């Protein structure tokens, strides 16, 4: 009994020590295989957004996309990945392959794109077992119930969402696809079009397109740091699974699978593990991601803290208070229309006196009378009579008679006197 207890305790301790050792040497999200330098989640996203297989191949080998980081022949240069489509009825096997040398080729991964009788399309991306291990399968987050019962509607595509929260409190929004939605991907519509020409890459060892030039591969930590901020999107739209949806297509692929003995030797020797020797490069990869996406350092720190959403920075606007007795200018108004008349407001008496009178205004009755009087005033009746009396006064009867009498007396020379209008002898 004691021996059995000791044996169980020893097994438990050995398992615990092995797990601790594995956690200390194995990095998170790392397979410990050469496939770590080609993120198949990023390949699936690129496939979803591509329009043609030729365009997919070109972007897959683009330095600006930073998806391909493979160096399978250890020449310190990125390997060119060519794309080849093998068609069998409604099933497509799309192979991603690298030319190791003049005689050897190595398959990296392959797509199985299969269209059913109802018009739905199932898509799986399988990594080659030499680079990713056995049965490394990725697919969109399919909603199984909808695939079985629904009838395709060309005018509507259903996509439901779920939320998944891990032990650290990080929330991932999971988009559940139907096979009818994956059938609407641009590259899938292109492959099932009547005029589709099967794409087989013409490039091979030492014969590459003019637009492509190999570059030096990154260390894995830098590559992982660059893609680390995309994992919420990757896990929200694609998932890892263990089952093949079309085993016949899988068996058909294995009949043409290409494996390079040189790559097998490199894997067994462990020479590829030098890519894990620079953990300090992880921050460099993050900086590269922020730079490419135009993200500010503040947003980058918020992403690193695990915040689910980052608000975009809005420019600060300052509001100027309008001074008293002045109108506020409207910035959206035409400068020629800045002056506006007050609505339904009559100016006060003080403002009318201070400001200039508006044009075409009629003067008040009083002001009109005052302005007209000095120029066109008629003399009053009394004043007119006075003026007439002064200019055209007639002498009174008595004074006239007196003057006549005096003149007669002077002319006659008589000594008669006239008093009070009467002649005295």
Is residue 145 scored above 50 in pLDDT?
no
In this predicted model, which residue has the larger pLDDT, 194 or 350?
194
Give the pLDDT score at 260.
96
Helix 297-304 and helix 282-293, axial crossing angle in degrees, nearest 10: 130
Contact 161, 175 (CB under 8 A): yes
In 3D space, the residue among 418, 420, 416 whose CA is nearest the CA of residue 398 turns out to be 420
Please say whether the beta carbons of 205 and 99 come within 8 A: yes
Contact 106, 263 (CB under 8 A): yes
Looking at the 3D structure of the chain, how many domains does it have?
Answer: 1
In this predicted structure, what is the pLDDT of residue 229? Answer: 86
- For the ranges 50-59, 123-132, 284-293, 401-410, which has the lowest average pLDDT? 401-410
Residue with tokens 């000791």: 6
Model pLDDT for residues 205-222, shown as the tens digit of each residue: 999 999 999 999 999 999
pLDDT at 332 over 50: yes
Residue 276 counted as domain residue: yes
Query: What percentage of the chain reaches a pLDDT higher than 70?
Result: 55
List pLDDT tens digits, range 165-197.
555 555 445 566 788 899 999 999 999 999 999
Residue 198: per-residue pLDDT: 96
- What's the pLDDT at 330? 54
418 falls within a domain: no
pLDDT at 155 (0 to 100): 39
Q: Which stretch, 41-55, 177-191, 271-285, has highest mean pLDDT?
A: 41-55
**pLDDT reading at 16 higher than 50:** no
Q: Dihedral sign, CA of 265, 268, 269, 271?
A: positive
Q: How confident is the model at residue 280 (pLDDT cuts 50, 70, 90)?
A: very high
Specify which residues 163 forms β-bridges with: 173
pLDDT bin (cut points 50, 70, 90) of residue 146 is: very low
Which of 115, 67, 120 has its CA nearest to residue 91?
115
Average pLDDT over residues 401-414: 48
274 half-sphere exposure, CB direction, 13 A CA radius: 9
Q: Are 37 and 275 in contact (CB under 8 A)?
A: yes
Domain that includes residue 253, residue range: 29-133+186-234+243-304
> Beta strand 136-140 with 121-127: parallel, antiparallel or unpaired?
antiparallel
Task: Please give the mean pLDDT across all residues of the chain.
Answer: 74
Q: What is the pLDDT of residue 324?
A: 53
Whose tokens are 């003067």? That residue is: 363
Q: Lowest mean pLDDT of 93-97, 165-169, 297-301, name the range.
A: 165-169
Indicate yes or no: pTM above 0.75: no
Q: Looking at the DSSP assignment, which residues form a beta bridge with residue 84? A: 95, 200
- Cα dihedral angle (349, 355, 360, 366), rounded to 10 degrees? 40
**Of 103, 98, 42, the residue nearest 74 (C-alpha):** 98
Q: What is the pLDDT of residue 29?
A: 75
112 burial type by CB count under 10 A (0-12 exposed, 13-18 middle, 19+ buried):
buried
Whether the CB-CB separation of 73 and 267 falls below 8 Å is answered with no
CB of 107 within 8 A of CB of 96?
A: yes
Confidence of residue 147 (pLDDT cuts 50, 70, 90): very low
> What pLDDT, on the 0 to 100 scale, is given for residue 334?
53
Q: Give me the pLDDT at residue 175, please.
A: 62
Task: Let me know if residue 74 belongs to a domain.
Answer: yes
Name the more confident of 366 and 95: 95
Q: Kindly tell me if the per-residue pLDDT of 392 is higher than 90.
A: no
Bigger pLDDT: 111 or 311? Answer: 111
**114 part of a folded domain:** yes
User: Which of the given ranges, 174-183, 220-229, 293-302, has the highest pLDDT on average?
Assistant: 220-229
Residue at 164 is within a domain: no
For 49-84, write each residue's pLDDT tens digit.
999 999 999 999 999 999 999 999 999 999 999 999
In a domain, 218, yes or no: yes
Q: Is residue 85 part of a domain?
A: yes
Residue 350 pLDDT greater than 70, yes or no: no
pLDDT attached to residue 306:
46
> In the predicted model, what is the mean pLDDT of residues 366-395?
49
Q: Euclidean distance between the first and final Cα of the chain, in Å? A: 198
Question: Does residue 113 sit within a domain?
Answer: yes
pLDDT of 242 reads: 87
Question: Dihedrals φ, ψ of 88, to 5°?
Answer: -140, 95
Residue 18 C-alpha from the chain's centroid: 48
- pLDDT at residue 343 greater than cutoff 90: no
- The Cα 38–Cα 326 span in angstroms is 66
Assigned token pair, 286: 């993050």
Q: Would you say residue 86 has pLDDT above 80?
A: yes
């Amino acid at each position: 009994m004691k021996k059995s207890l000791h044996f169980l305790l020893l097994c438990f301790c050995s398992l615990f020590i092995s797990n601790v050792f594995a956690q200390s040497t194995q990095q998170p999200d790392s397979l410990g295989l050469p496939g770590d330098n080609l993120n198949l989640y990023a390949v699936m996203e690129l496939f979803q957004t591509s329009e043609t297989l030729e365009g997919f191949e070109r972007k897959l080998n683009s330095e600006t996309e930073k998806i391909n980081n493979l160096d399978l022949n250890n020449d310190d240069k990125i390997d060119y990945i060519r794309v080849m489509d093998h068609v069998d009825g409604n099933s497509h096997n799309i192979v991603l392959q690298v030319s190791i040398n003049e005689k050897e080729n190595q398959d990296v991964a392959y797509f199985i794109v299969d269209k059913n009788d109802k018009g739905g399309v199932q898509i799986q991306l399988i990594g080659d077992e030499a680079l990713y291990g056995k049965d490394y399968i990725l697919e969109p987050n399919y909603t199984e119930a909808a695939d079985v019962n629904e009838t395709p509607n060309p005018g509507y595509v259903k996509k439901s969402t779920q939320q998944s929260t891990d032990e650290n409190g990080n929330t991932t929004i999971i988009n559940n696809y139907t096979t009818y939605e994956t059938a609407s991907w641009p590259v899938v519509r292109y492959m099932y079009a009547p005029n589709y020409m099967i794409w087989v890459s013409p490039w091979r060892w030492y014969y590459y397109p003019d637009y492509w030039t190999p570059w030096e591969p990154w260390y894995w930590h830098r590559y992982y740091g660059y893609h680390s901020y995309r994992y919420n999107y990757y896990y929200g739209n694609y998932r890892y699974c263990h089952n093949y949806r079309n085993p016949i297509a899988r068996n058909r692929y294995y009949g043409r699978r290409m494996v390079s003995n040189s790559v097998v030797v490199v894997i067994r020797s462990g020479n590829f593990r030098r890519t894990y020797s620079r953990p300090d490069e992880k921050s460099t990869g993050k900086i590269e991601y922020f730079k490419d996406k135009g993200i500010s350092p503040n947003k980058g720190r918020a992403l690193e803290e695990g915040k689910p959403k980052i608000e975009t920075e809005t420019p600060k606007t300052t509001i100027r208070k309008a001074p008293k007795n002045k109108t506020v200018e409207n910035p959206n108004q035409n400068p020629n229309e800045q002056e506006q008349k007050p609505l339904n407001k009559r100016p006060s008496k003080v403002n009318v006196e201070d400001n200039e009178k508006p044009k075409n205004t009629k003067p008040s009755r009083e002001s009109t009378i005052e302005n007209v009087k000095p120029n066109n005033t008629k003399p009053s009746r009394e004043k007119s009579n006075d003026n007439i009396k002064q200019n055209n006064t007639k002498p009174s009867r008595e004074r006239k008679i007196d003057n006549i009498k005096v003149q007669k007396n002077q002319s006659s020379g008589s000594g008669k006197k006239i008093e009070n209008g009467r002649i005295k002898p």
